[in-house]
Structure 1
Amino acid sequence: MTDRPTSPWPLPLPPGEEPPIPPLSVWSTGQRDPAAQLRNSGCVPGTDADTDRIPPAVAAYAIATHTRPGDLVLDPDCGAGTVLTEALRAGRHALGLTARNRWWTLARANITAAKTAGAWRDGSVLDARPKVLATIRAAGLVGRVGLVLTALRTTPDEPTDRAPSPDRDPDSAIAELAATLTYCEPLLRSGGHLVVVARPRRHPDGSLVDLTTPLIAAARAAGLAPVERCVALTAELRGSRLVNRASLAERRAAARARAAGTPTALTAHHEVLVFQLAHDAELADAAAVDIPWSTGDQVIRPAVNGVKYPGWRRAA
């Protein structure tokens, strides 16, 4: 994690004044181990193969915090579909996209399992890449999505009969996600949120990769403003003590690092960044410090599917 985002704050600041740090909060989302979370969510066998998945407890917390019943939750790169399952279980509509056949099959099975267990909201997963959201096929979604919730994915999708390849370079994964954020920005309703979840990555020397700074920069380039930076625990919180739930692979990697003379701590969290439409954040900040804001001022966003619209007047 970084101490301070480098991107500018939406409101103009007096000369020499530093932009504020997005508020930091801790989510107690590691009280159950990963296998128990998948069981409790009714996920089908094989879901755990998606190592970049958003843990069900993290997805459930984000959905409960940033949506209302009946809202539409979108995961533009949904993997095995844990976000979709939790959205349906919470009484939200769910839409996911993935171009990976393996994940599409699992995500569809998880949606079916959630509906069989009693979820009655609409849920679907499309065999498509995120760029389809920038086409006429997504025209009906403009201004309607209450929450975009997605993960930074660096694990390559490999056939099951081959040994897994090393993680992709985080820079290329962030560049791909940056394009996805651009596709998603016009779909958010006024007051909606976009949440990115990233599990920590390490450099070859064992130090943590700074994911926060480039993710905030990518979001700002897409017309989004950071409003919160969170730590979603993957370790159980027992009083004042953390009980780590690291996987066997992570523990072996830490043991190898110690043997090589570079002690490495086991990670106990996922990084979570929360964004809003930039003009929504500006209005909220202006209201917070009692700055008058003319109702005649409209923020006209770039044309989407040939239609221009005033962003701050989008339907709630």
Structure 2
Amino acid sequence: MTEVTTSVWATGQRPSRVQRRGRYVPESMRHPGKMLPSIAAKVIATYTGPGELVVDPMCGIGTTLVEAAHLGRHAAGVEFEERWARLAVANLGHARAQGAAGFGRVVAGDSRHIARLLPDLVGRAALVLTSPPYGAATHGHIRSTRDTGEPGVRKWNQRYSHDRANLAHQQLPHLLEGFGRILAGCVQLLRPGGVAAITVRPYRVRGELVDLPGHVHQLAEEAGLVFVDRIVCLLCGLGDDRLLNRASFFQLHEARKAWARGVPIHAVAHEDLLVFSVPQRSVGSRKLKDLQREPKGSSGDISDPLARVPGEDTGWSS
């Protein structure tokens, strides 16, 4: 039986904007649903070795790809929205200019067909790292009365999709069906023993909590993946004697309103990282300690897996 463990990673010691400063092109801040770079880097360092392949089927501005390149891994990403895909390419180029050793490629397309979009990578990925969408709009950037001295709240960069075909616009049943298809396609890209890591958190709709992590867990197992770990990735910082709040204005606002109604909800301070593996046909399921990267030179290492993919290292295709 596979051993399941739970860990806590202190990934929120620095705010997101500080983690990105100088490492990503400034326009990256326009995307309202970015993965925290420290989470991506920790996952990649834990579950892959130098020269191996990392795939993100919903790569946004390319956080997974950039962190992989800086760690000497190679990366491929698919992004539905062309404007974000172009930013992912720009961020990969920026990483290469800063000396990142890894190569990357971005494809603009629908990742529900990812095995067709990346046919030459089938069976070659060591890691799939991604996150599902939480809706067509997020809190984005805001300025409240406290900041401006003027009544009301100003919001910008809160919407990352206007295309109704984007999964972010779908109601929960259709979102889950689409994400399940993405995971099934990713299983085809992963090599035996490869790892799928998904960052996800619950969210509220009209005050009701939606257990998105639970739904994603079920989808992954239906796609043929084996659950091996749940890791708590902190979004808050750890101070000497207290937590350092990183919650958004609207998270705190909604929590305060709920407390006023007598409902003691709290602002989200972590991401769930759900870790799965592709079963090894020859040896069966492996324990978590065996999934953590063996020394370079072990069987299954891939040297520059993108070298045979048409296009340049930060190539764009659609």
Query: What range is the shorter-chain TM-score in?
Result: 0.7 to 0.9
1:127-166 correspondence to structure 2 within 5 Å:
127-135=108-116, 137-156=117-136, 164=159
1:102-117 correspondence to structure 2 within 5 Å:
102-117=83-98
Say whether the 8 Å CA contact 2:115–2:189 is kept in structure 1: no
> Which amino acid in structure 2 is aligned with residue 124 of structure 1?
R
1:31-50 correspondence to structure 2 within 5 Å:
31-39=13-21, 42-50=23-31
2:228 partner SS: strand
Cα offset, 1:79, TM superposition: 0.9
Give the unaligned 5+ runs of structure 1: 1-10, 12-19, 289-313
> Which amino acid in structure 2 is aligned with residue 272 of structure 1?
L
Say whether the 8 Å CA contact 1:155–1:168 is kept in structure 2: yes
Q: 1:199 pairs with 198, 201, 219, which one?
A: 201
Give the unaligned 5+ runs of structure 2: 139-154, 163-167, 291-298, 302-318
Measure the CA separation in 2 of the matches of 1:270 and 1:202: 15
Cα offset, 1:130, TM superposition: 1.0
Measure the CA separation in 2 of the matches of 1:48 and 1:238: 26
> Which amino acid in structure 2 is aligned with residue 99 of structure 1?
F
- CA-based RMSD of the aligned residues comes to 2.9
Flag the 1:156–1:211 CA change in 2: closer, same or farther, 3 A.
same
Q: 2:57 pairs with 56, 72, 76, which one?
A: 76
Range 191-200 or range 176-185, more displaced: 191-200
Cα offset, 1:161, TM superposition: 9.0
> 2:231: which partner in 1?
230
Could you give the per-residue CA deviations for residues 129-174 of structure 1, whole angstroms, max 9, x where no partner exists? 1133232x5332121101100001123179x999859975444333
Q: 1:121 pairs with 91, 97, 102, which one?
A: 102
Measure the CA separation in 2 of the matches of 1:194 and 1:108: 23
> 2:147: which partner in 1?
none
User: So what's the TM-score if we normalise by structure 1?
Assistant: 0.76
> 2:179: which partner in 1?
177
Flag the 1:133–1:170 CA change in 2: closer, same or farther, 3 A.
same
> 2:216: which partner in 1?
215
Range 47-56 or range 187-196, more displaced: 47-56
Flag the 1:315–1:163 CA change in 2: closer, same or farther, 3 A.
closer
User: So what's the TM-score if we normalise by structure 2?
Assistant: 0.75
Measure the CA separation in 2 of the matches of 1:61 and 1:224: 21
2:66 partner SS: helix
Say whether the 8 Å CA contact 1:154–1:173 is kept in structure 2: no
Measure the CA separation in 2 of the matches of 1:163 and 1:54: 15
1:185 partner SS: helix
Say whether the 8 Å CA contact 1:185–1:277 is kept in structure 2: yes
Measure the CA separation in 2 of the matches of 1:21 and 1:201: 28
Measure the CA separation in 2 of the matches of 1:32 and 1:162: 21
> 2:150: which partner in 1?
none
Greater RCO (Cα-Cα under 8 Å, separation 6 or more)? 2
